[in-house]
């Protein structure tokens, strides 16, 4: 009986509930351990003049202060090594580390941080994408993917829309902050216990900045209290600072960020500002698409090149686009370097095309579901992406057919329409969006993994891989794959802490590929062990009397037993065959390796097949909006996903639900607020709002499409990131609700669609509607008294009618009202709709 497909509890479930699971700061203090922290730049952009640590070093309990001069090398970065660990010339973001302090007590450390004197000249800071564009501040070259003839498509098109969509960032909000314990050993060796998604990156970076060889550094990761991409590259900084102290003092050192500092000074999801132009026919079929992506990379490159690349390669999402011209630049701003975040640029690409499809539907007066369906990728034709990859095993049409029925979509659309025709206090919206998410690292070399499997004499197994556990269940998946391959009970398999000593040169646990890569490597190792065991078993089960020779191919492993299929009545426990193999001096340990086949991509040409397969799905979301306050409630969500053959259905269901709600939070609640000096204002759980139980819908359904044609280990498909992109359906539902008020205008909406953002749009459309019904005279929006409208202005720098409250408690439209707007036109070029954008 196959282990794959069973619901087996997460391997840390009991430990989490009992409080026995160990995280970095749960590790007991070691003898002579030092506490580490740092002093950062006081400015978002500044020129370093001098550093004075003399007073700090006089404080009892303070052991050392270190600066860039104490490092062997002072540049790091996962793609381009452009970021200093410690400021040596210019500070490029507020709080950027300048001085590392080591102390024996927290109180001494706190006093020392105040005593360090940093002299710095404040320079002009670039804090927005628009400022970066104006100042021509970019981190890298322009990247392009193109197909067909966009200009001809535009010239011959009957309908066109162009505009800008602004997409905000988000904080990872993992429960365990960045953390590391560094333990020095003999001969300058170092062991790092790090909360990281990339132990090999920690090893390589630490060795580099300290001037050590990589074989002198070992990184161990038992688990993380969440990661979501935030610990893929930025866990290197606290690890390197703790290692610096341990290396210099020869004492253990611990650095754990407090939550406030973690949120203030680590990178976020990349904000994007995307300019688009699209042509289409009367059915809503896209004939040409042009998108210019502008990503806010922050102060340094980090992973921005790869994030932008995935955004561009997800511009199509689930839809065939015959003529496309897609370009992208990374803007440099004086904010912490933005980094990996679940979805890794894919969401910023997908929301752009989903927003466009909503606008096409509004322009044509069609149901957006039908517009999306007419644009879906085909099976045998219209099945190639703009970058040249064939979309194989396409289940999108099945998914759309299923969700239309299971969500009772048509009836609910009618109910929404009827409700909006009657209600004067509330507004409803409903939308379906899709996802086609490419699975593999877009950097081909990262698509490899190795594993170590050890079988012990009692029949139990240890498996070590480069995958790191951050709550997503990768260890459970891997131990189930090992158990399935060896035909044993998963309870007899343990996934060991990830260590660079056991698994070398590993890729980060990212790109939704951890199970795919590391699970495949583990299966490869098990297959080699099983082959040797089969030879031992074949000799044992051979019988001259019965005329049965020793044929290893006839040996079966299942349910903890081993037998020859020609004599199934004669079975031995797995551990007995293991014992025989040991006595026969047969190896019971093995390394496995896996490299994804058939993938490649050339960014110079903008062509290739970067993904092994695509995870696909769709979601219908329905919302209700209070027209007086802008308060939005999510009424119901229906999800249908093709996840292949699930290894563990329960874990996958949890991943789908969790990813959706995280995506919903990014789309609705989680707005980052900065001052004009680069200070993050909402940097704690009290001011940064992730979804809570009251934000979740009462009606929430998840269905999966059975699909056994996936070219992956055991036919499974990755679900770590793809469902997050379905949270865009909530944004689209809000946009749909606004279409009931916008009249001839295409409703526009900035992400996240917070209550304030929604209220601003409501006021604009309500005011415009009231003015139209009163012979052009301005009238207060519904829910506002005449007094509350005193001092209201109705214009922005684009000349659009947008209300801003001067004397009220609300400012519905933010300070950064856009320089652009959307214009929809027919072939003759006469405008049909014009909309202000943030």
Active-site residue numbers?
721
Give 515's DSSP letter: I
Angle at 181 between CA 514 and CA 191, to 5 degrees: 75
β-strands 555-558, 498-499 pairing: unpaired
What sign does the CA torsion over 568, 574, 575, 577 have? Answer: positive
Q: Which helix (H) or strand (E) holds 756?
A: helix 755-772
Helical ranges in 365-498 per DSSP H: 368-375, 396-406, 409-422, 474-486
Q: Which helix (H) or strand (E) holds 609?
A: strand 607-609
Whether cis (ω within 30° of 0) applies to the bond prior to 752 is: yes
Query: Which residue has tokens 């793609």?
Result: 79
β-strands 272-280, 159-167 pairing: antiparallel
d(CA 307, CA 303): 6
Cα separation values, 753 from 304, 359, 428, 690, 749, Å = 24, 16, 15, 13, 7
Q: Which two tokens stand for residue 295?
A: 């990503």
Q: Which helix (H) or strand (E) holds 117?
A: strand 117-122
d(CA 173, CA 256): 15
CB 157 within 8 A of CB 323: no
d(CA 43, CA 30): 36
Residue of 76, 95, 347, 333 lying closest to 198 (CA atoms): 76
CA R_g for the chain? 29
Q: Which two tokens stand for residue 213?
A: 């060889």
Question: How long, in residues, is the chain?
Answer: 838
């Amino acid at each position: 009986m196959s282990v794959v497909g069973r619901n087996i509890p997460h391997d840390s479930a009991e430990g989490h509930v009992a409080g026995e699971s160990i995280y970095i700061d749960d590790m007991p203090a070691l003898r002579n351990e030092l506490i580490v922290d740092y002093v950062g730049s006081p400015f978002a952009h500044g020129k370093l003049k001098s550093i004075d640590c003399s007073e700090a070093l006089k404080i009892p309990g303070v052991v050392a202060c270190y600066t860039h001069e104490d490092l062997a090398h002072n540049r790091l970065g996962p793609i381009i090594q452009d970021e200093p660990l410690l400021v040596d010339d210019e500070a490029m973001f507020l709080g950027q580390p300048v001085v590392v302090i080591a102390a024996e007590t927290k109180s001494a450390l706190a006093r020392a941080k105040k005593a360090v004197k940093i002299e710095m000249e404040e320079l002009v800071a670039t804090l927005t994408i628009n400022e970066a564009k104006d100042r021509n501040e970019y981190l890298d070259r322009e990247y392009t993917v193109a197909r067909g003839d966009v200009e001809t498509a535009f010239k011959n098109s009957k309908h066109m829309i162009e505009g800008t969509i602004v997409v905000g960032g988000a904080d990872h909000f993992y429960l365990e902050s960045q953390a590391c314990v560094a333990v020095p050993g003999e001969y300058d060796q170092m062991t790092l216990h790090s909360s990281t998604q990339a132990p090999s990156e920690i090893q390589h970076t630490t060795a580099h900045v300290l001037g050590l060889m990589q074989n002198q550094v070992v990184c161990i990761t038992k688990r993380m209290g969440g990661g979501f991409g935030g610990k893929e590259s930025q866990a290197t900084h606290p690890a390197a600072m703790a290692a610096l102290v341990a290396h210099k003092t020869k004492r253990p050192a611990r650095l754990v960020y407090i939550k406030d500092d973690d949120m203030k000074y680590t990178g976020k999801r990349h904000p994007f500002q995307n300019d688009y132009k699209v042509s289409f026919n009367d059915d809503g079929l896209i004939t040409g698409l042009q998108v210019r992506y502008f990503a806010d990379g922050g102060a340094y490159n980090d992973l921005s090149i790869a994030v932008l690349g995935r955004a561009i390669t997800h511009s199509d999402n689930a839809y065939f686009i015959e003529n496309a011209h897609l370009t992208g630049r990374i803007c440099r701003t004086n904010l912490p370097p933005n980094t990996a975040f679940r979805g890794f640029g894919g969401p910023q690409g997908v929301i752009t095309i989903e927003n466009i499809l909503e606008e096409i539907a509004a322009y044509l007066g069609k149901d957006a579901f039908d517009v999306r369906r007419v644009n879906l990728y085909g099976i045998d034709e219209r099945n190639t992406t703009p970058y040249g990859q064939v979309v194989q095993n396409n289940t999108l049409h099945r998914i759309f057919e299923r969700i239309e029925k299971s969500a009772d979509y048509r009836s609910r659309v009618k109910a929404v329409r009827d409700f909006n025709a009657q209600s004067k206090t509330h507004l409803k919206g409903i939308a379906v969006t899709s996802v086609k998410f490419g699975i593999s690292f877009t950097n081909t070399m990262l698509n490899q993994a190795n594993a170590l499997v050890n079988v012990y004499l009692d029949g139990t197994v240890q498996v070590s891989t480069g995958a790191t556990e951050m709550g997503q269940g990768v260890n459970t998946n891997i131990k189930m794959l090992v158990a399935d391959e060896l035909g044993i009970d998963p309870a007899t398999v343990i996934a060991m802490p990830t260590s660079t000593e056991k698994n070398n040169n590993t890729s980060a646990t990212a790109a939704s590929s951890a199970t795919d890569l590391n699970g495949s490597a583990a299966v490869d190792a098990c297959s080699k062990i099983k082959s040797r065991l089969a030879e031992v078993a074949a000799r044992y089960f051979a019988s001259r009397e019965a005329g049965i020779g020793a044929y290893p191919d006839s040996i079966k492993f299942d349910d903890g037993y081993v037998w020859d299929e020609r004599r199934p009545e004669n079975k031995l426990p797995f551990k007995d065959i293991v014992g025989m193999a040991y006595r026969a001096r047969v190896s019971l340990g093995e390394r496995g390796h896996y490299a994804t086949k058939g993938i490649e991509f050339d960014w110079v040409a903008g062509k290739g097949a970067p993904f092994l397969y695509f995870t696909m799905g769709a979601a219908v979301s329905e919302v209700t909006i209070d027209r007086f306050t802008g308060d939005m409630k999510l009424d119901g969500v229906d999800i249908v996903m093709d996840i292949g053959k699930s290894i563990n259905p329960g874990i996958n269901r949890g991943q789908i639900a969790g990813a959706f709600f995280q995506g919903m939070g990014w789309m609705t609640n989680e707005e980052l607020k900065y001052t004009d000096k680069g200070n993050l204002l909402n940097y704690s759980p009290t001011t940064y709002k992730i979804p809570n139980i009251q934000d979740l819908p009462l009606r929430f359904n998840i269905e999966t499409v059975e699909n056994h044609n996936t070219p992956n280990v055991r036919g499974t498909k990755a679900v770590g990131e793809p469902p997050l992109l379905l949270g865009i359906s909530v944004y689209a539902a809000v946009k749909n609700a606004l279409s009931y008020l916008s009249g001839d205008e295409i409703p526009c909406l900035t992400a996240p669609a917070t209550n304030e953002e929604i209220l601003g749009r409501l006021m604009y459309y309500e005011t415009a509607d009231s003015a139209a019904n009163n012979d052009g005279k301005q009238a207060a929006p519904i829910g506002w008294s005449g007094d509350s409208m005193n001092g209201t202005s109705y214009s922005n720098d684009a000349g659009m009618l947008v209300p801003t409250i001067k004397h009220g408690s609300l400012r519905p439209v933010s300070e950064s009202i856009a320089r652009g707007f959307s214009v929809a036109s027919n072939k003759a070029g006469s405008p049909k709709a014009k909309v202000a954008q943030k």
